[in-house]
A and B are shown apart, each in its own frame.
Chain A
């Protein structure tokens, strides 16, 4: 079956613009995760959704970052007023459940802020 998909695959934007990144998880997976991969920080966890709910948003790097998930499926990560330090690869993963199941990753969105 289809894996996790993400769009766009690449996004170049100017500093100060807003961007939206999309993640389409594997059908039936209730748990969804966003991670960020950057040269300096490695792979860092951003936010977790169980269904449509994100119980803890403290992993988001700043209040310019927000995320939502609708219908227990697609999730969007929005970055407002982008800064150069937001340049990274944003990875989404999904799993059947939070505690016992393997996370499967999408191909990522490479964000470049000029």
Chain B
């Protein structure tokens, strides 16, 4: 069945790069997304990538997609304390256009 997996925790020092990894199972997914959730808040769209792309860069964010291995990663350059949050990987793979989410990776940034 459809499944999206991510590691649960990542801790980095301020100024370092963070890399959050995700694997998905539905090879027919057309779009893959990264959402950010801060405590007590909803999901904020960070970026997305279309399945025919390998890479997308948006300011400090770089998304890499390896379609053969069904692996998606999000790199945050120069990580700041304000980047501390839970990051969700999602594929648009549901039969009703719904998103299928991973469990989320909690990023902690130490000063």
* A43 touches which of B41, B45, B97, B101 (Cβ 8 Å): B101
Partner of A45 from the list B31, B44, B98 (CB cut-off 8 Å) is B98
| Docked pose: A104 CA to B102 CA in angstroms | 17
Whose C-beta in chain B lies nearest to the C-beta of A95?
B97
Closest to B50 in A: A100
User: Which residues of chain A from 90 to 114 have any CB-CB distance to chain B below 8 Å in the complex?
Assistant: 91, 93, 95, 98-100, 102-108
Asked whether B45 lies within 8 Å of A108 as measured between CB atoms, the reply is no
* Interface segment, one of B52-60, B66-74, B76-84, B88-96: B88-96
Q: Considering the complex, give the chain B residue whose CB is closest to the CB of A34.
A: B98
B99 within 8 A of A: yes
One digit per residue, 1 when the CB lies within 8 angstroms of any chain A CB and 0 when it does not, for chain B 33-55 equals 10100000111110010000000
Contact, CB under 8 Å: A42 / B101: yes
Q: Mark A22-60, 1 if CB is under 8 A from B, else 0.
A: 000000000101010000001101001000000110010
Q: How many Å lie between the Cα of A108 and that of B37 in the bound state?
A: 11
- How far is the CB of B87 from the nearest CB of chain A, in Å? 13
What is the CA–CA distance of A48 and B97 in the complex, to the nearest angstrom?
Answer: 8
| B95 near A56: Cβ-Cβ < 8 Å | yes
In contact, A43 and B42 (Cβ under 8 angstroms): no
Closest chain A residue to B44, Cβ basis: A105
The answer to whether B104 and A45 have CB atoms under 8 Å apart is no
